[in-house]
Chains A and B, each alone.
Chain A
Amino acid sequence: MSTSTIDRLEGERRQARKDASDRAVSKAEGWRRRGPLLPALIFTVIVTQLPFLVTIWYSLRSQNLLRPGEDLFVGLSNYIDIAQDSTFRQTALNSVVITLGCVLVAMVLGIVLALLLDRPFLGRGVARTMLITPFLVMPVATSVLWSIALLNPTYGLFNWVLGVFGIEAVDWTSTYPVTAILMALVWQWTPFMMLLVLAGLQAQAKDVLEAAAVDGAGPWRVFRSITLPHLRRYIELGVLLGVIYVVNTFDQIYLMTAGGPGTASANLPFYIYQRAFLGFDIGQAAAMGVVVVIATIIVASAALRLIFRSFEVKE
């Protein structure tokens, strides 16, 4: 064989060894990278997925805590019951209405407030402090406060104010239960949205804004073409987090209207709670939980892929 072939073979062998060692390195590197993630990941899997598996198991049985000894495997019959339950449909609709309503209104208000707070004025810190407080106070307490001190038809403050203007008293929690809950929820979550948007406003590159001003762009132009696109990422984060938290709202419904009148203001978590702790029908409650998880994941994956795409672009 000629030296060139030997060299070539030698070269290939060296390359192969190098590739192998590279792969070994990248395998090791892969594990080194996964290492820091593992504790959190394993912890989350154990604490959240195991109970979920147990929930699935319960959903296939007909267990009622108050009638011991009747625990049977019933396959999918719980799920069929849910499909035929008109109350479940209504509470699902309520969940959607309450979640979207709260998040949208809170976000719009949050943007307005953040814009107002972005200007310098005397006592700005105090105003901002006052505006974030609703998010800090205990929701258990504020729910009761809203339903008893503010919205009570006889001695609530809202009706007192209406009375001052000569308007007849409104029975808020009976006639407009969803609105009442939305008021309390929007009140609680607006500061959260406001803070996120405020962070976004303050993260704007000042030089870009100055350049636009020098170019003679009016405040509305600047807002529309520079600020709003920049804020998009923060708004999306706010909407995502808002939806995740508000869809699981329990405190307000439980303490303000108890889902009523009838089931007019019950959302899915509350209805499931009633099945589990009032009817003690564990099988039904578990099946509903499973259905809710699947539905949320479907909706969320669509939403998240959208957001991720915009995030990827950012990076």
Chain B
Amino acid sequence: MFRPPRSGSVQGTSVRARAAAATAAVALALTGCAGAGAVGGGDGEQIVVAIVSNPQMQDAISLQDEFRAAHPGIDVRFVSLPENEARAKITASVATGGGEFDVVMISNYETPMWAENGWIENLQPYIDGTDGYDAEDFVPSVREALSSDGDMYSVPFYGESSFLAYRTDLFEQAGLEMPANPTWDEVRELAADLHDPAEDFSGICLRGLAGWGEDMATMTTAMNTFGGGWFDADWNATLDSPESREGIETYIDTLRSYGQPGAATSGFGDCLTRFAQGQSAMWYDATSMVSSVEDPSSSTVAGKVGYVPAPVAETESAGWLYSWSLAIPSTSEHKDAAWDFVSWMTDKDYIQLVGEEIGWERVPPGSRLSTYEIPEFAEVSQAYADATLESMNGATQESAMTHDVPYPGIQFVGIPEFQDLGTRVGQQMSAAIAGQVSVDEAIAQSQRYAETVAETYRAQEGQ
């Protein structure tokens, strides 16, 4: 009689069988749970909210119980991802009508385009029908940017411009003074004075990470203020014009001479870490930086920072305009419930809630004018409130550019192709910052990319 070779076979069978049975049992049990969950858990509606995982948004998630208390019939599920992932997902979903989300977080970049495509709901009727919502209270430049034909298609959660942060203590120590409206040349001089690479201390921190919303945001404002830009009024690409070139070269040279190491992969987060850990004398970036920079629990420089408007050259102002806002996709089947949530997260009471529950430094800035009237907030925001409001009010094309352009947007070009174009150009610039290509090569290649896009628009205009 043949005996199978020794291989622990009997043991093997039972172990394997048990493992398989266990897995199946667990899977079935969880299927049951997940199945029930997916159906919608009993009474009430369920809405899915897609947001970007920034600190202010994470605060909103942590406060969701307040919303539930006020609206017991609505169950909110959050999808929170980092900016690039969130954007890609939200755009793919809304553009293909995937219908996964009832509320999406977009910005003043998408709003005008998507409104035109009919992808998002006109919110004006909802606004008008909600007492005390007070859409007039929104910062005017922001409200304008989120509207199409006078109706708002998304409402701001927070708004920002860009300004220059500097270490008041170090300036005092070195006997330097920051002008009230610095120019790029003045900023370069100051950075040169304070730059100390031996101590791992940089004169300034600037973005260099490739991305239409990363390095191209700051760099575009530099181009703008020197009189350059992406396209002129006739849809010619102008990245290689002398003015644009000056802006780009100034930016890149400042970064390479007095900027932080690892510049080519430094985004907002990296610069924030550096500046908040005290390794940089200045930082030109979003006004929303204050939530973290002025927070003593994560920043070593809280209270030692001054703020002035963005560096200029030929223009009155240079700060950008950006707002994370909430919109309701047209495919949503729970629009009323979605509006309940949207209005909760963007009305005056929410600001109060964050201030009281979490802290007044964490209040979403730059969306409502009334926020700056609240005494507690005015107190903590003394250092930056004026600079912020000044920057946001000055964030208009008239103020930040020297010539007319055929598209909306200051630090971006409000056309669908821009995410791609901006990122490709951003990659070229990032490579130039890293020294892998020369600035001239980067500009030449970028101009080519921009021209391809410009052609399509010129053809359209020609019709």
Contact = CB atoms under 8 A, between A and B. Distances in A.
Direct contact of A and B (CB under 8 A): yes
Interface of A: 64-68, 152-154, 169, 171, 173-175, 257-264, 274, 277-281
Nearest to B114: A66
A171 B261 contact: yes
B264 A261 contact: yes
A279 B419 contact: yes
A264 B436 contact: yes
Given A154-B274, A278-B419, A261 B91 contact: no
Interface string B414-458: 001101100100011011011011000000000000000000000
B262 interface: yes
B416 A67 contact: yes
A87 B263 CA distance: 23
B211 to A, nearest CB: 8
**Which bucket holds chain B's interface residue count?**
20 to 34
Contacts of B260: 154
28 contacts: A64-B416, A66-B95, A66-B416, A67-B416, A68-B117, A153-B262, A154-B260, A154-B261, A154-B262, A154-B274, A171-B261, A173-B262, A173-B265, A175-B434, A258-B211, A260-B209, A260-B264, A260-B431, A261-B265, A261-B436, A262-B428, A264-B431, A274-B420, A277-B92, A278-B88, A278-B419, A279-B417, A280-B91
B262 A174 contact: yes
B420 A278 contact: yes
Given A258-B210, A264-B436, 19 more contacts: A65-B91, A65-B95, A65-B96, A154-B274, A173-B265, A174-B262, A174-B263, A174-B265, A258-B209, A258-B211, A260-B427, A261-B265, A261-B433, A262-B430, A262-B437, A274-B423, A277-B91, A278-B88, A280-B420
Given A65-B95, A280-B91, A280-B95, A262 B262 contact: no
A169 B117 CA distance: 50
Given A68-B117, A278-B420, A260 B430 contact: yes
Given A65-B95, A154-B274, A169-B261, A261 B431 contact: yes
A173 B208 CA distance: 13
A262 B427 contact: yes
B420 A262 contact: no
A63 to B, nearest CB: 11
B262 A152 contact: yes
- Say whether chain B's binding surface is mostly helix, strand, loop, or mixed: helix
Contacts of A175: 434
B200 interface: yes
Q: Which residue, of B261, B279, B428, has the highest number of chain A Cβ atoms within 10 A?
A: B261
Nearest to B82: A255
Nearest to A68: B117
Contacts of B433: 261
B117 A174 contact: no
A262 B95 contact: no
A259 B424 CA distance: 11
Contacts of A278: 88, 419-420, 423
A152 B263 CA distance: 11
Contacts of B436: 261-262, 264
A279 to B, nearest CB: 4
A174 B266 CA distance: 10
Contacts of B262: 152-154, 171, 173-174
- Say whether chain A's binding surface is mostly helix, strand, loop, or mixed: loop
B210 A261 contact: yes
Nearest to B91: A280
A65 B419 contact: no
Contacts of B92: 65, 277, 280
Interface of B: 84, 88, 91-92, 95-96, 113, 117, 200, 209-211, 260-265, 273-274, 279, 416-417, 419-420, 423, 427-428, 430-431, 433-434, 436-437
B264 to A, nearest CB: 4
B82 to A, nearest CB: 10
Contacts of B417: 66, 279
A279 B279 contact: no
Contact of A261 (B113, B419, B420, B427): B427
A281 B273 CA distance: 35
Contacts of A277: 88, 91-92
Nearest to A279: B420
Contacts of B423: 274, 278
Q: Which residue, of B96, B113, B420, has the highest number of chain A Cβ atoms within 10 A?
A: B420
Nearest to B431: A262
B428 A68 contact: no
B91 A66 contact: yes
Contacts of A65: 91-92, 95-96
A16 B74 CA distance: 78
A259 B417 CA distance: 20
Nearest to A260: B210
Contacts of A173: 262, 265
Contacts of B427: 259-263
Contacts of A152: 262
Nearest to A273: B88
Nearest to A173: B265
A154 B210 contact: no
Contacts of B428: 262
A156 B252 CA distance: 25
A281 B265 contact: no
Contacts of A259: 427
Contacts of B265: 171, 173-174, 257, 260-261
B111 to A, nearest CB: 14
A180 to B, nearest CB: 10
A261 B430 contact: yes
A175 B434 CA distance: 7
Nearest to B433: A261
A277 B427 CA distance: 16
Contacts of B263: 174
Contacts of B434: 171, 174-175, 261-262
